[in-house]
Structure formats: C-alpha cells, structure tokens
C-alpha cells in the first residue's frame, strides 16, 4: 500500500488509532453549472459587489452565477444625474467585471418612472417639458448609454414597469406616459436598437401572474411589434411572497408569455418571508407602509420551520422554471445575500427579511440547497 507523501502523517495517525482529521469538504457546487443546459442563472449586484468592497458578495457572484444585472448603477439617476452630465465610472466597472468573469451582462434600465431625476421632465424655469424635447432627451440618453456599451451588453431592459397593476393600462399618471403615451415606449425601443443592433431588447415588469396586468403587457408588446420594432423578450420580475402567486399561476403566466414567441426571463426573483400589509402583491417602489413590531417578526433570526418553508417555495418555483426551460432564457435573483436585499427596506423601512439564497454572512441557505437539488434533478431528467 502506498500513500502520497503528504498523506503519510495522516495514515500514521490512523494506524495509531487516533481520530482522523476532518476531510476537507468538496468545493460547493455552482448553481450556474447545474443550470447551464436550462437557462442563464443571474444575480443583481450593488455598488460594493461591483467594486469588490463586499468581498464575500463578489466571490459569490464570481462562483455561482453566469449573468449579472446592475441593481442600480445603470439607472438614469446614476448615469445622467444632470442634463448632459453623464457619469459612467461605476457602470463601466460593472460591464468590465462581467467581461472579465465571462458573464452575460444585462443592462437595467433605460426608461422607468422611478430613479429618473426631476430635471428630465422640466424646463429650466421648472415648467413641464414639451413632448418634442422629452423625446429628444429620451433618445439622446439611450443613444449615449447603449452606444457606449455597444457589443458588451447582451440585453437591455429597455422599458420598465409602464403598465398599471389594477387594469393593465398604461401608467399615464407618470410623466413619461402622460407626456408621451405609448409613443415614448416605441421611441425607446427604436433608439436602443439603432444604438446597438446586436443587443437583445426586453420589456420588463412585475405581477405578470395577475391576468389583468399580463394582458396589458401582452397588448403593449403586440403594439411594439405591430410598429415593426425590435423586441426579443419579456422580463417577468418575480418578486414573490411565500404563498403568492401560486406555482400554478406562475406556470400559466409563463405559458401565456411564451405564446408570443418571445423569450421569457425571470429578471428579479426573490421571496419575502415577512408579512405584507394590505396584502399588496406588487413591487411599486413608491408604496411605503408604517413600521410596526408585529410586521418585523424575525429580527433575531428566521425560525427553522420558516427557513424550510422558504426552501420548499424556492424548489417549487424552480421546478416550474425547469419545466419551461425551453421558453425561459434566464433566471436572475434580485440580490446576492439577505443582508443586501432591497426587501429589508421595502415596503416598510428597517425590517429584517430573508428573501434570497445566501444568508447575511454569505453562507448558502436551505433555499440554496433546494434550488441546487431542483436544478440537478431537472438536468438529470433531461
């Protein structure tokens, strides 16, 4: 019997009857390897993960995911905070990181009612900007941003959340759509395609499991195509609760979205475990509720039964995604660890939520394990 040289002391100790030292655990399996034949597996990353200041987060991104979306760095407010003043430093680092790590890089987002500075809709005297001027600003922003990253961004969320939750109509209460109507959306898609004809272009929204909202989105997508404009896919955000929407509702919505022949992607997946006042199911960032201790029950940790419930929920969701892998091109989790998730601050500030796959210290959660096992089963069943 021969031992490699470095194992000799171990063998010797074992022969002497001493307890054998711990065997090093195998490197944890990477979700992106398991999902490779199904869909891209992405994650939204914040400024500290882009720069590497959050080393733990950045390492998780590097090893587990093959697609990245900037959680905030490419929004209008950050890219063009003042008229004509473009600030690309962080977005440049985001794109460079994606290229360095060989990841699919997603651009988020060109036209949205939130995180667009007030100046965009105003003249210098504070009065409302004209339709022509607003179109000019929109086109200039898109030409500049998409043009800068031409060939480096796989796909853009061109328009985000233009449709109302309640009835699927256009959000004409927001300046973009009050001033420009659907024409603004058409202009955005046209400008993005012109600036980078190779980039995929998406319409992105939440609550697409709600049939009324989904119908509105499908109607809008139809109108975009009827104009002869280029659109590749529909992003379904996937900001979910533990029990809502049901797996059956998610399943139906995928079938419906895929029937357009467009790519379907889950662009912002997370699952809140916290109570939701009002039973509000959407992700409208402007909706904020008052704090109350009973609405923040897990400040000191998530009880094991809840943890298990979250893991089962993730397994159920990924089983539906895997079933539809021919239509789904990407699933992106909205946040790297529970510590950095936006859900700690919305729709009530200062809570402690547990919505993603890695815990506050960066360790994989039972939800990670259930996603891993579901992906592995789906891969092996193929």
Binding letters toward ligand 9MR, positions 146-165, x by CB under 6 A: --------------x-----
Helices (H), the chain: 8-15, 31-35, 47-51, 55-64, 76-79, 89-100, 131-148, 175-180, 182-195, 211-226, 247-258, 304-323, 366-381
Contact flags string 279-318 toward ligand 9MR, x per CB under 6 A: ----x-x---------------------------------
Q: In the complex, which residue's CB is closest to ligand 9MR? A: 342
Touching ligand 9MR, residues 327-346 (CB under 6 A): 342
Is 268 near ligand 9MR (CB under 6 A)?
A: yes
| Residue closer to ligand 9MR (CB basis): 237 or 327 | 237
Q: Are 67 and 104 in contact (CB under 8 A)?
A: yes
Q: Is the peptide bond before 314 cis (omega within 30 degrees of 0)?
A: no
Listing DSSP states for 318-340 in one string gives HHHHHHTTTTEEEEEES-SBGGG
Q: Contact between 104 and ligand 9MR (CB under 6 A)?
A: no
Closest distance of CB 115 from ligand 9MR, Å? 5
| Catalytically annotated residues | 161, 268
**What character string, x for contact with ligand 9MR (CB under 6 A) and - otherwise, covers 17-56?**
----------------------------------------
User: What's the token pair of residue 64?
Assistant: 């587990």
Q: Give the x-and-dash track for 50-89 against ligand 9MR (CB under 6 A).
A: ---------------------xx-----------------
Pick the closest to residue 329 from 58, 29, 66 (CA basis): 66
Ordered DSSP codes for 45-81: E-HHHHHTSSHHHHHHHHHH-SEEEESSTTSHHHH-S
Residue 207: CB minimum distance to ligand 9MR, A: 11
Q: How far is the CB of 334 from ligand 9MR (least distance, A)?
A: 6
Phi then psi dihedrals of residue 282, to 5 deg = -85, -165
CA separation for the pair 274, 279 (Å, rounded): 11
Q: Which is nearer to ligand 9MR, 155 or 366 (CB)?
A: 155
- Dmax (CA) for the chain in angstroms is 88
Find tokens 């307890």 and name the residue: 19
CB nearer to ligand 9MR: pick between 135 and 273: 273
* Nearest CB to ligand 9MR, comparing residues 35 and 341: 341
Contact between 241 and ligand 9MR by CB under 6 A: the answer reads no
CB closer to ligand 9MR out of 221 and 322: 221
- Residue among 46 and 374 whose Cβ is closer to ligand 9MR: 46
Applying CB under 6 A, does 114 fall inside the site for ligand 9MR?
yes
First to last CA, the chain: 42
Dihedral of the alpha carbons of 240, 246, 252, 258, in degrees to the nearest 10: 20
Q: Residue numbers of the site for ligand 9MR (CB under 6 A)?
A: 71-72, 114-115, 160, 237, 268, 283, 285, 342
């Amino acid at each position: 019997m021969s031992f490699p040289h470095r194992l000799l002391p171990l063998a010797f100790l074992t022969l002497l009857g001493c307890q054998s030292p711990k065997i090093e655990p195998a490197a944890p399996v990477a979700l992106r390897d398991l999902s490779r034949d199904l869909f891209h597996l992405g994650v939204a990353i914040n400024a500290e993960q882009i720069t590497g200041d959050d080393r733990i987060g950045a390492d998780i991104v590097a090893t587990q995911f093959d697609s990245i979306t900037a959680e905030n760095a490419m929004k209008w407010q950050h890219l063009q905070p003042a008229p004509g003043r473009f600030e690309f430093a962080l977005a440049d680092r985001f794109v460079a990181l994606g290229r360095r790590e060989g990841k699919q890089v997603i651009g988020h987002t060109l036209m949205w009612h939130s995180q667009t500075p007030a100046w965009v809709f105003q003249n210098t005297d504070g009065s409302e900007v004209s339709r022509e001027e607003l179109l000019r600003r929109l086109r200039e922003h898109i030409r500049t941003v998409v043009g800068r990253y031409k060939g480096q961004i796989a796909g853009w969320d061109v328009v985000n959340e233009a449709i109302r939750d309640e009835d699927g109509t256009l959000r004409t209460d927001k300046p973009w759509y009050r001033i420009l109507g659907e024409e603004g959306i058409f202009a955005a898609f046209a400008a993005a395609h012109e600036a980078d004809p190779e980039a995929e272009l998406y319409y992105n929204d939440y609550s697409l499991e709600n049939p009324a909202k989904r119908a509105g989105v499908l109607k809008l997508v139809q109108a975009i195509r009827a104009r002869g404009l280029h659109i590749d896919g529909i992003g379904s955000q996937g900001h979910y609760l533990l029990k809502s929407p049901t797996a059956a509702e998610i399943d139906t919505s995928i079938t419906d979205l895929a029937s357009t022949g467009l790519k379907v992607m889950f662009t912002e997946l997370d699952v809140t475990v916290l109570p939701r006042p009002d039973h509000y199911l959407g992700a409208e960032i402007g909706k904020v509720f008052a704090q109350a201790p009973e609405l923040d029950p897990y400040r000191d940790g998530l009880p094991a039964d809840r943890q298990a419930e979250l893991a089962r929920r993730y397994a159920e969701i990924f089983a539906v995604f895997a079933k539809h892998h021919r239509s789904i091109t990407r699933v992106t989790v909205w946040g790297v660890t529970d510590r950095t998730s936006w859900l700690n601050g919305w729709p009530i500030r200062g809570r402690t939520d547990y919505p993603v796959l890695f815990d506050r210290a960066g360790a994989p959660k039972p939800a990670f394990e259930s996603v891993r096992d579901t992906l592995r089963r789906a891969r092996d069943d193929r």
